[in-house]
Amino acid sequence: MIMQQQKTSMLEIRDLHANVEDREILKGVNLVVNAGEVHSIMGPNGSGKSTLAQVLAGRDTYQVTRGEIIYRGRNLLDMSPEERACEGVFLAFQYPVEIPGVSTQYFLRAALNAVRWHRDEEELDAIDFLKFLKQRMQIVEMDEGLLTRAVNEGFSGGEKKRNEVLQMAVLEPKLAIMDETDSGLDIDALRIVADGVNQLRSDERAFIVITHYQRLLDYIVPDFVHVLVDGRIVKSGDKTLAHELEERGYSWIEQQTVTEQPVAS
């Protein structure tokens, strides 16, 4: 399998269909993502963007009814959410969950050690971890005071999103999916979050950036832009597509979908 990695893509989504409570949300998504690439998925509300993110992370409230997802040569749908995380899939949540009674610092260490344990690496003790964490925190300009507070509890919207990027920086995933990380952020917070992501960009790492607005893409410049409408990717292009969408709105695309074939990169 390691031999194959050179040739295969990081992620291949083929004809993915998914339901929520018998309602079909994804209706045949195709997407190929290679290492080092940043893909943006845009689309109107209710088009299935968040569903796609949750399916990739393994949320069991969504049922995949057809299609497959190949991640680094393996069937992603056969893997539990924790196994996906350990194998390098990371989802930055649109709505990060509050966890009373668990300090942010403990949570990050438990997560990192779970991933390290999976990779047969030594667990970090509290002191080494703290050193590593402080260095990672600079990426998102996060206040140290948040470390001793319960995960996301009482965090502002911006702090929650920065905490998501911090987790990404700590876990060092191969595939990072960002679900509307820009929603609810003021321009300063947006810049910090985007800077953080840009520092984490590398040739070995791929990003799927889900957003409703083009604004974020001024900061995180994508290699590819895909438009998801009614459960399908109906148009793909480069970063100029995002600007076109911003100017002309989604209805322009929705009218075109009847005639145009979706293009996978």
Partner 1 sequence: MTTTADITDACAEKFARYAGLLDGELPSWLLPIREAALAQFTKQGFPTVRDEEWRHTNITPLAETEFESADPDATRVSPGQIRRFRLGAGNETALVFVNGYFAEHLSDVAALPKGVRVMDLAKALAADLPAVRNHYARYAGIGKNAFAALNTAFAGRGAFVEIPRGAMVETPIHLLYVSCEEEPTVAHPRNLIVAGEGSQFRVIEHYVALDQGVYFNNVVTEVVAAENVVGDHCKVIRESNRAYHIATLGIHQARSSHISSQTICLGGALVRNDINSVLNGEGAHCDLDGLYMLGGKQHADNHLRVEHRSPHTSSREFFRGILDDRSQGVFCGRIIVRPGAQKIDAKQTNKNLLLSDRAQINTKPQLEILADDVKCTHGATIGQIDEDAIFYLRSRGISEDAARSLLTYAFAGESLAQVRDRRLRAQLEQLVLSRLPNGELLRGLA
Which residues bind to partner 1, rule: CB under 8 A?
57-59, 80-82, 84-86, 90-91, 93, 96-102, 106-107, 110-111, 114-115, 118, 126, 150, 167, 171
Cβ distance to partner 1 smaller for residue 115 or 227: 115
Question: Alpha-carbon distance 82 to 118, whole Å?
Answer: 10
Least distance between partner 1 and beta carbon 175 (Å): 13
Q: How far is the CB of 92 from partner 1 (least distance, A)?
A: 10
Q: How far is the CB of 55 from partner 1 (least distance, A)?
A: 12
Whether residue 10 contacts residue 175, with contact meaning beta carbons closer than 8 Å, is answered with yes
Q: Which residue number, 12 or 164, has a Cβ lying nearer to partner 1? A: 164
Q: Which is closer to partner 1, CB of 72 or CB of 84?
A: 84
Closest CB 152 distance from partner 1, rounded Å: 9
Between 93 and 250, name the residue whose CB sits nearer to partner 1: 93
